[in-house]
Amino acid sequence: MIRKASWFSYLNADDIRTACSAGDAEGRIRIIYNADYYKESRSYDLIPQAGAQQFEMVSRIFGPLNVSQIDVEFNAPLGAFGGAESRDDLSRGQYIALTDALQANGFGYQNHDGLRLHSNDYYWIAIGCSSKNITLAAWTSAKDDLRALTFPGVLENLSGLEKPLPMPPAADAPKLPDPVYGKNDKKSESRNFYRTVRGNQLR
């Protein structure tokens, strides 16, 4: 079902949001790493099991098969990508270690309203459900030192994916400027897209 969803819907965790409002997603978290959309993206879904003492983490790597055929404005996304997948069982202690690392990096405490996440940049998104409320946090190499974040290391140690995480740019690396498109650049604008943090939504 997820592979048929649009990439934008998946990024915004629309499926988790719907379940959360119904009280059916307590403790669920989706974490996404965009390491330049047309090179590699990763997702990590943490799903509580009965009693919330055990958790399943589904990790996926997406790499472009043929990006020239991808239309990001309509049906882009997971169905057009392929890659490795790992399903791992986590204890409650491991889950808490990850959520503690997320919170130490600002999850639940951020105010990044208006932050733009560009497809050709490096960024992390974390979206979780607690008490029927959604929390969203985002970190981008345009604003944050991604190499200083601690939760990616915890995440990588818990995941069964063998391929190392792509290294984000150093904090002092030149920042990508926001692209400016002319009226004749519709193809480039469609290919290189962005999402904007608006409260706890990505628009």
Query: pLDDT (tens digit, 9 = 90+) per residue, 114-142?
Result: 999 998 999 999 999 999 999 999 999 99
Q: How many helices (H) and strands (E) does the chain have?
A: 5, 10
The H or E element that residue 135 is part of is strand 133-140
Supply the pLDDT for residue 177: 66
Q: Which amino acid is at 161?
A: L
Residue 101 has a CB neighbour count (10 Å cut-off) of 17
Which candidate, 84, 22, 24, places its Cα nearest to that of 48? 24
Can you tell me the distance from the alpha carbon of 133 to that of 21, in angstroms, rounded to the nearest whole number?
Answer: 7
Closest alpha carbon to 8 in 142, 166, 176, 125: 125
CA 20 to chain centre: 18
List CB contacts of 111: < 8 A, sequence separation 6 or more.
none
- Both tokens of 71, joined, read 């239309």
The per-residue pLDDT for 70 is: 40
Buried b vs exposed e over 86-96: b needs ≥16 C-beta within 10 Å?
eebebeeebbe
Q: Which of 2-16, 76-90, 167-181 has the lowest mean pLDDT?
A: 76-90
pLDDT at 179: 57
* pLDDT tens digits for range 52-81: 889 999 999 987 653 444 444 434 445 445
In percent, the amount of the chain with pLDDT more than 90 equals 67
Tell whether pTM > 0.85. Answer: yes
Q: What is the mean pLDDT of residues 4-9?
A: 68
pLDDT of residue 2: 39
pLDDT of residue 89: 96
Q: What end-to-end distance do the CA atoms of the chain give, in Å?
A: 22
Q: Are the C-beta atoms of residues 202 and 196 closer than 8 Å to each other?
A: yes
Q: Give the span between the Cα atoms of 28 and 18, in whole angstroms.
A: 12
